[in-house]
Structure 1
């Protein structure tokens, strides 16, 4: 009956207060502890300053083409570097943040950065371990398949391709290295 034109009459406050225990306890402003903070002032922002001082930009930073300047404070802990940094600069220089191309280039830059980090790990004493660091072992020992069957989880639709996407590059890389090592004696 609520969604029809014949809406029942709205009961008055006293009727609701008599019928429902605790109804309307916050109607009286004196009963609300937050009333002093509930002043309606549309011009107040709650900030105690006009604009913070601008952080110096020692190295050129990426910025959206929609904005004429950087925010007053910005992060510098992970400066852009290498091919992934070039892709990120391209995304910010050429495309608006409202365009899919901007975000797809940023996603691609993340993949390039991850791939280069994996490759760089082979030059160290502790290279990446694809079995433990990609979650393959946890899938086998902690009920990975059982947690996806008989449920309404959305990720079950792409679960079949996860081993290919996660383990595939490692298998392909191992095959390339094996082939290269086998080809060395033939060249000599």
Structure 2
């Protein structure tokens, strides 16, 4: 079991694995495995515990469905909140870490979290400023445009996409707000 001083549970018998998995058993001979000289469980590790002290859990943490329990130490910098937190909890509750869906949902949760942060910034005295924060002005004032031509740059092929990737979400958000505002004005008339 992970995080304990106990010897790991032995795998199923070789015959069962060979019947179940085509091509299994390439590294059956211990002499063929590079880690064999180091793969010993009788050495003194110097650890003064059989199981490490557990970190206090201040809120229910996400954990992989492959693990029996939460790891003894975990990150606490950003507790899950809002829609992005719900997406993260869903990814851990529903899918194994070996599934693509798990990671795609986590990536989507990161994008949603970025959107939530942008929206939260509008409630502050200093909202996000996409013009200055994306470095668009440096393209004009710091020789940005001239540095893009007559050079052997690796990013020349996708340079035309950069303004779309950076600016499109803001343009779409502004368009959505304008559509909502016009819709509200029409209802008032």
TM-score normalised to structure 2 length: 0.65
Aligned-pair distance for 1:55?
1.2
Residue of structure 2 in register with 1:78 after alignment: 78
Residue of structure 2 in register with 1:64 after alignment: 64
Residue of structure 1 in register with 2:28 after alignment: none
Q: How does 1:26-65 map to 2 (within 5 A)?
A: 43=43, 45=45, 48-50=47-49, 51-65=51-65
Residue of structure 2 in register with 1:175 after alignment: 175
RMSD after superposition: 2.6
CA pair 181-57 structure 1, distance change in 2 beyond 3 A: closer
CA pair 140-98 structure 1, distance change in 2 beyond 3 A: farther
Higher relative contact order (CA 8 A, sep 6+): 2
Could you tell me which runs of 5 or more consecutive residues in structure 1 were left unpaired when the two chains were aligned.
1-39
**Paired residues, what number?**
147
TM-score normalised to structure 1 length: 0.66
- Partners of 1:151 and 1:78 in 2: how far apart? 41
Aligned-pair distance for 1:83?
0.6
Residue of structure 2 in register with 1:10 after alignment: none
Q: How does 1:4-153 map to 2 (within 5 A)?
A: 43=43, 45=45, 48-50=47-49, 51-149=51-149, 150-153=151-154
Deviations 1:135-154 (A, max 9, x none): 2223333344455552252x
- Partners of 1:86 and 1:182 in 2: how far apart? 32
